[in-house]
Amino acid sequence: MSHKIAVIGGDGIGPEVTAVALDVMAAAGADLATTEFRLGGFRYLEDGVVLPDDTLEELRAYDAILLGAVGTPEVPPGVIERGLLLKARFELDLYVNLRPFVLKDGHEFVVIRENTEGTYAGEGGFLRKGTKDEIATQGSVNTRKGAERCIRYGFELAMGRERKHLTLVHKTNVLTFSGDLWERTFEEVAVEYPEVETAYNHVDAACIYFVEDPTRYEVVVTDNLFGDILTDLGGAVAGGIGLASSANLNPDRNSPSLFEPVHGSAPDIAGKGLANPTAAVLSGAMMLDFLGENETANRVRAACNGVPDSGPTTDIAAAIMSNLSSSSS
Ligand code: IPM
Ligand code: MN
């Protein structure tokens, strides 16, 4: 079956790694009808366009969105991040940000990052900006519904895993309002899943365990900002950020989900042919899974095993392609 895919290569290394992901998926047998959307910092610099509402409406007609990376140093921070990526996450209600990790010893775990609320929501502002009495606030928005749907997704995911183990990560000892809401919600939903073994870690302790004892984790659920930081750390301990893939999901399928590597646009190496395309390829595999093409997704993932984790993009791409053809012959 052919799937309609909106492709946003974006900035920096985004287009290079996205092109490899599309080639690999096609070679693995995926039937994707792609449409390119010229969006990102480069486009903003051309004509001021970030993500207009009518473009967002157009995106809704696709089965999924594949994104490379957005953001460029020539554009002030926040313009593209908030105006494009966060706008897509919020408006398309992509409330689960799923980020899987595979350690060198084979241990696999996954982080569910809440993706539409928390400090990312944009609550806050300035008072007396630019004066010596300046005040800036940046609130954290936590709704019962927003926390519950991610926590519930976590329990469902844990039910399908070997250990049926779910860890809540937060900072309940200091964030006594939002942490309390998350913890109470977690405990209430847990009652419905008696088979799932649960744990709780403060986020600072979780940072230590991610490095020193990651095998304690199978499924982790956490808020937006903790999840942002923790998943960069996850990438670092699981072979580097060049391998870290992610899915921004609307599990209810009311809108297309968006798939992107965890890494950014890496302007320092853009255009040099040195980007590791593996994270983008693995994000493509997550997209294929979500589209129901599980066999093709497994082929793509298997082809990424044992490829070099640095070096020229074309060498890594060729290694993935060669693994693919040897697996199908
Ligand atoms: C990520 C990125 C984004 C985030 C940025 C680019 C807005 O770091 O996907 O983790 O903070 O969510
Ligand atoms: Mn991040």
How close is the Cα of 175 to the center of ligand 2, in Å?
21
E strand or H helix at 202: strand 197-202
Pocket of ligand 1 (CB under 6 A): 71, 81, 85, 228, 262, 264
* Ligand 1 atom closest to 86 (CA): 7
Q: Is 220 left (phi over 0), alpha (psi -120 to 50) or beta?
A: beta
How close is the Cα of 228 to the center of ligand 1, in Å?
7
pLDDT at 26 (0 to 100)? 98
| Catalytic site residue from 120, 153, 217, 223 | 120
User: Between helices 313-328 and 14-27, what is the axis angle to 10°?
Assistant: 10
Per the annotation, the verdict on 268 as an active-site residue is no
Q: Average pLDDT for residues 28-55, to the nearest whole number?
A: 98
pTM over 0.85: yes
67 pLDDT higher than 60 = yes
Percentage of the chain with pLDDT > 90?
97
* Ligand 1 atom closest to 228 (CA): 10
**Which residue is closest in CA terms to ligand 1's atom 10?**
228
- Nearest ligand to the C-alpha of residue 232? 2
Q: What is the pLDDT of residues 157-191, one digit of tens each?
A: 999 999 999 999 999 999 999 999 999 999 999 99
- The mean pLDDT value of the chain amounts to 97
327 pLDDT higher than 90 = no
Per the annotation, the verdict on 104 as an active-site residue is no
Return d(Cα 246, Cα 283) in angstroms, integer.
6
* Ligand 1 atom closest to 81 (CA): 7
**The tokens of 169 are what?**
């990560």
Confidence band for 276, pLDDT divided at 50, 70 and 90: very high
134 pLDDT higher than 70 = yes
Residue type at position 152: R
Mutation choice for ligand 1 from 85, 90, 225, CB with most ligand atoms inside 8 A: 85
Q: Average pLDDT for residues 146-154, to the nearest whole number?
A: 98
Q: Average pLDDT for residues 20-46, to the nearest whole number?
A: 98
DSSP code for 269: T
- Nearest ligand to the C-alpha of residue 283? 1
- Nearest ligand to the C-alpha of residue 245? 1
Confidence band for 328, pLDDT divided at 50, 70 and 90: low
Q: Average pLDDT for residues 56-61, to the nearest whole number?
A: 98
Per the annotation, the verdict on 289 as an active-site residue is no
Alpha-carbon distances, residue 53 vs 88, 123, 230, 256 (angstroms): 10, 21, 31, 15
pLDDT at 1 (0 to 100)? 84
Q: Please name the residue ranges forming H helices in the chain.
A: 14-27, 41-47, 53-59, 79-80, 87-91, 144-159, 178-190, 203-212, 224-237, 278-290, 294-303, 313-328
pLDDT at 41 (0 to 100)? 98
Residue with tokens 């995926």: 30
Q: Average pLDDT for residues 112-118, to the nearest whole number?
A: 98
| Three-state DSSP state, 111 | strand
**Which residue is closest in CA terms to ligand 1's atom 9?**
262
**Which residue is closest in CA terms to ligand 1's atom 1?**
262
pLDDT at 274 (0 to 100)? 96
129 burial via Cβ count (<10 Å: 0-12, 13-18, 19+): exposed
Q: Average pLDDT for residues 25-40, to the nearest whole number?
A: 98
329 pLDDT higher than 70 = no
239 pLDDT higher than 70 = yes
Q: Average pLDDT for residues 121-130, to the nearest whole number?
A: 98
295 burial via Cβ count (<10 Å: 0-12, 13-18, 19+): exposed
71 pLDDT higher than 80 = yes
Q: What is the CA radius of gyration of the chain?
A: 20
pLDDT at 103 (0 to 100)? 95
Q: What is the pLDDT of residues 277-286, one digit of tens each?
A: 999 999 999 9
* Ligand 1 atom closest to 70 (CA): 6
Mutation choice for ligand 1 from 67, 70, 81, 111, CB with most ligand atoms inside 8 A: 81
Per the annotation, the verdict on 228 as an active-site residue is yes
pLDDT at 173 (0 to 100)? 98
pLDDT at 107 (0 to 100)? 96
Per the annotation, the verdict on 171 as an active-site residue is yes
| Catalytic site residue from 4, 31, 180, 204 | 204
Q: Which backbone phi and psi does 114 adopt, to 5 degrees? A: -60, 140
**Which residue is closest in CA terms to ligand 1's atom 11?**
228
267 burial via Cβ count (<10 Å: 0-12, 13-18, 19+): middle
- Nearest ligand to the C-alpha of residue 85? 1
Judge whether 15 and 50 are in contact, CB under 8 Å.
no
End-to-end CA distance of the chain: 23
How close is the Cα of 29 to the center of ligand 2, in Å?
31
pLDDT at 53 (0 to 100)? 98
Q: What is the pLDDT of residues 311-325, one digit of tens each?
A: 999 999 999 999 999
Q: Average pLDDT for residues 222-242, to the nearest whole number?
A: 95
